[in-house]
Structure 1
Amino acid sequence: MAASYEDRVLRVLAYIHDHPGGDLSLDTLADVAAMSRFHWHRVFRAITGETCAQATRRIRLHRAACWLVQSDRPVAQIATDIGYPNLKSFARAFSEAYGSSPVAFRKVGRILPAHPNFKTGEYPMHPVTTRTEPSRRVVALSHKGAYAEIGRSFEAFSALCESRKLWPQVGPIIGLYLDSPEDVPEDELRSFAGAQFCGTDTPEGMEDLSIPGGKTAVLTYKGPYSGIHAAYQALFGNWLPDSGEEPADQPCYEIYLNDPRETAPEDLLTEICLPLR
């Protein structure tokens, strides 16, 4: 696929992420891509595996799920901010995608510390195992800003792999997170969206990274990505203090075991990996 088509798809994906409450009709996205609407939808689907409408709906509802759990924004405001004309239509779409109403999802998902003195041991439990992980070569796109918004970089990475036919050389999808959200301002957080790679040459525009192997604590989280932050709290607040283990001087990374485009949010599986000494 010509690079110009890659650029168009990446531009449109970025536009959807930047304007979740705006006009994301096929005509508008075709204009962003600078391509005829009669052919644009076929190009987009060929490269991403989704129609424009499917991608827009999924990205909008993921943004809503994150806001429901990680902010106090009113549900009606969230509906407006992701482009739904009224609360009823938003609630229906959200329930279809996430299996519960926005209000119920917020109540179940709001498992974050209520204040800085939130006690250790009160976080939800998730299975944690200790295993020896192999070293991994990863190719990825860099992301700067809120971890909850790294999806835009994964969308771009997936589109590049599809257009360049890289999937036979790609292994598990991996997110690498360099900073602690508790210590670093949100807009300065550094992360990478990519995958294990067995090819020879680093794909153009991607970065070549190495994750050392060794002893690793692995928490398996099941559920929508909007709840991953609370799973980290469980790993560091519940498991680590009682484990007798010491974290290595290496960043955490996540391994995504299934595809959010083909898997219901409640069935998504993520391994949160904490390197140990």
Structure 2
Amino acid sequence: MDRLAHRSGKDLVTGEVIDVSRAEREAFWAWAVIETLRHTGIRIEELLDLTHLGLVSYKLPKTGEVVPMLQIVPSKCDEKRLLLVAPELASVLATIITRLRSENGGAVPLTARYNPYERESLPPMPHLFQHRHGGIWKVPSAATIRNLLDKALARTGLTDAAGQPLRYTPHDFRRLWATDSVSNGLPIHIAAKLMGHQNLNTTQTYVAVFNKNSSAPTGPSSQHAARSAPNRNTENPPIRNGTTSNSTSNSESWSWAPADAHTEVPASMNMLASDARASASTSAPANGSPR
């Protein structure tokens, strides 16, 4: 189906004329935002900085399997991060990439993003979160992302304990990720590294405290966090510093947490691993990094 073609329909209950094309587009990107945020715990600025070139490959030392990892360009500190792409996240990213390619002749569009903090336009990059606006590819603003979430929640009709419409901000998913991961066995000092926190106390403010007799949060991200957590008897947790194969300077500092407890490999993982290897062999932009 050509998603770019304008389509409208009529709600048989209310009689309202609906712009189906726009509704589908907004629903897709709201889903993509929610799923990416809840599986990574990244900030909204970091979400908008994600690019196709941010996919890098990592070879598991025990099995030799190549898995994709996602480069997070920092928004509040100088240390870049690499997150292991779990199967659930791989499926989301693969769906995003497939959609962008299908709407742009088989390639992820190169789009310049305006940085409101530095008040400048950044070099064109293959951003993962972008859309056509008036025939031009653009990276959405943080306000647009928040609006997508508000509309998605409004359509559900969900309310809080006071009966008010439920509202989630992008940062709420960061708190959910931290609580979910730590509650299911991920050591908090590793969670701090993955979240880009310099101070462990900062991470502790993100983690909700549960009574030991209450049920801990569950879900795909928490199950992956539990699988990825190191053995409690391990003296040196798997947090290392180094450089990636497509880094241009050995002075660049990185943090990552490779997990060897990976088993089943869905097609989306293979696709992203292949894309990661291709990205590593692609010439980097003039400044040597995706930002």
TM-score by structure 2 length?
0.29
TM-score by structure 1 length?
0.30
The structure with the largest helix share of the pair is 1
Asked which structure has the greater RCO (Cα within 8 Å, sep 6+), the reply is 2
The structure with the largest strand share of the pair is 1
